[in-house]
Structure 1
C-alpha cells in the first residue's frame, strides 16, 4: 500500500478536488495522511500559499495537484496512474463523453459521496 501525505486546511475545496482526482486516477491502494497546517506556524509558512500539497513516501512534493494534468504526470512517473480512468476523465473534461463517477463514489439525492 502506498502512503501519501496531504498538507491541507479545514474547508479547502482545492484539497477536496485533489482527493477526488486521486481516488479516480490512482490504480494502487493508498493511505492518505491529512496534515492540518493551521495547527503549526512553520507548516503555515511553508505550505500556506501552496496547498494542496501531496507528498509521496520519498518526500517528493506535488503542488497544485488539483490540476488533473499535474496529478496525472506525478502518478504516471511512479507507475500509479490508471490510464483508462485518465482517458475517460480527459474526454469528460473535453466534453466528449458521459460523466464518470470516482471509484467508490455513490450518488444519493443528486449529491456525490466518496467512499
Structure 2
C-alpha cells in the first residue's frame, strides 16, 4: 500500500485535478490522507501558495502535481507510475481511473474532471 498525503484546502480545483490524475496514473493500491491547511496557521504559511502539495512517507514533496508530466515524473521516480495509463493520457485519451476515482475527460485537447 502506498501512503500519500495531500495538502489541500476546501474548494481547491487544482487539488481535485491532482487527485483525479493521481487516481488515473498511480499503479497499485494507495491511501491518500488529505490535510486541510486552513485549519493550521503553520501549514497555511508553509503550503498556502503551493497547494496542492503531494507528499510521500519519506517526506518528498511534489508541488504543481496537477500538471500531468510533473506527476508522472514524480510517480515514475518511485516506481509507482502506471505506464499504460500515462501513454494513454499523453495520446489525448482519458485513462481508465481506478474504481471510485473521479474520471478525467479529454475534449479538444483539454482535460476535464468528470
| TM-score category of the 2 structures, normalised to the smaller one | 0.7 to 0.9
Q: What pairs with 1:25-36 in structure 2 (closer than 5 Å)?
A: 25-36=25-36
Q: Structure 1 length as normaliser, TM-score?
A: 0.84
Q: Which of 98, 102, 109 is matched with 1:103 structurally?
A: 98
Task: Could you list the structure 1 runs, at least 4 aligned residues long, displaced by more than 3 angstroms after superposition.
Answer: 98-101
Computed over aligned residues only, the root mean square deviation of the Cα atoms, in angstroms, reads 1.7
Q: Structure 2 length as normaliser, TM-score?
A: 0.85
The number of equivalent residue pairs is 104
Q: Which runs of 5+ in 2 are unaligned?
A: 104-112
> 1:99: Cα distance to partner?
3.8
Q: Which runs of 5+ in 1 are unaligned?
A: 93-97
Q: Does the aligned pair in 1 maintain the 2:24–2:97 contact within 8 Å?
A: yes
Query: Structure 1 residues 47, 106: CA separation in 2 closer, same or farther (over 3 Å shift)?
Result: closer
